[in-house]
Amino acid sequence: MKKRIEHVLWSAPLTVKAAGIGVATVAVLGAAMAGFVTVHMERVSGPMSTSERLMFLSPFLAIIAGGIVLALALSYALARAIARPMEQLTRPTQRITAGDFSVALEIEQDDEIGALAHNITALARSLAAHRAQLMNRDTERRLLLSRLVDAQEHEKRAIARELHDHFGQMLSLLLLLTSSLRRTTDVAHKSEILDEIDRHIASIIEDVRRLSSDLRPSVLDDYGLDTAVRRQVDFLKTSQAFDVDYTFDNLLDRRLPGPTETALYRIAQEAITNVLRHAEATHVGIHIRVEPGGIHMEIADNGVGFDTRAGAPGSGGIGLSTMEERAALANGSLQVRSKPGGGTRVIVTLPPPAERGTAGHS
């Protein structure tokens, strides 16, 4: 019973609570004042009868009744002044709870309630911005995954095309040579056919090694990023008609984690491929710097360049998208700076590697 009464009292509206407190206060003070005055008069003039007491106290009772009415009116007015803005706060907070963050409270008060309204509005705006940021990240993630799948399919098609067009033709040629070898009886001709078969087999072995290296270079796992990129540079220097400037500065004096090395190597590999196919360059610079604040890689050429604006002719295809995706998956960023006739710079920035020693490269 006691708990039920307490529940009823605490769950009563604010106006009822304020009115009850005001009436109780006036009644208690009035009764105390009347009793005090009555006792004092009896001491001065002697004991009074009941009728005399009623006549004597009637003005005080009237004053008490008026005080109660006035207390009710003032308490109600004060409670409404407090409850009205609280009601204005309740509805917006319910909207925020339901997920509607487009709330803007307009309570022009400089007291605590005004400050509370301002804080609720600021909270709603912060929640709206955070939700928009999460939605943007989710959209970017979906787009990134979609583009990554497209890049993987493009790479599979390229491998399938090379297997079919190149290796299929080479194996068909070997089949023709072996068939010719069976039919001929001339020893000298047989020797020539065998020499040609040897040359084709050696070429196939070299091409298989090249394809295997393109898919996953063992030198990257065995010796690290510097050696893997340096071998690419050595190949460019011996097989292409342009200069290559390569530097690798590792201020951490330890190997990078495996995923980081793979991302940087693949980006460098794709950038070099773009130079070979499109740049018409005479000089290429490849610079990698690893320091406690992060990893920076830049591949620059003095080739024909292109217009980097989206949708412009030559503004980049799946190769550039693949590089951007690899950088994003490594929690980094990639910028391409180029203009027609002004060469191209590919700038990659990755966060500093975690303290994992060399265990992460396997």
Query: Which string of DSSP letters, residue by residue, matches 229-253?
Result: HHHHHHHHHHHSSSEEEEEEEETT-
Cα 74 to Cα 229: distance, rounded to the nearest angstrom = 84
Instruction: Return the pLDDT at 52.
Output: 63
Instruction: State mean pLDDT over 295-313.
Output: 81
Instruction: State mean pLDDT over 172-186.
Output: 85
pLDDT above 70: residue 192: yes
Cα 248 to Cα 256: distance, rounded to the nearest angstrom = 13
Q: Render pLDDT for 89-142 as a digit per residue (tens, 0 to 9).
A: 777 777 777 777 777 766 666 666 677 777 877 888 888 888 888 888 788 777
Q: Render pLDDT for 307-357 as a digit per residue (tens, 0 to 9).
A: 877 544 444 555 787 888 889 888 899 999 998 888 999 999 999 987 544
Cα 35 to Cα 279: distance, rounded to the nearest angstrom = 106
Q: What share of the chain is helix, strand, coil (3-state, %, to 5)?
A: 70, 10, 20
Q: Render pLDDT for 241-258 as a digit per residue (tens, 0 to 9).
A: 678 999 999 998 888 998
Give, for 260, the enclosing helix (H) or strand (E): helix 258-274
pLDDT above 80: residue 24: no
Q: What is the largest CA-CA distance in the chain?
A: 160
Instruction: State mean pLDDT over 193-210.
Output: 85
Instruction: Return the pLDDT at 313.
Output: 44
Q: Compute the residue count for the chain.
A: 362
Look at the alpha carbons of 60, 65, 66, 71 in this order and tell me if their dihedral is positive or negative.
positive
Q: Render pLDDT for 41-88 as a digit per residue (tens, 0 to 9).
A: 556 566 666 676 666 666 766 766 766 676 667 666 766 666 666 666
* CATH for the stretch 223-361: 3.30.565.10
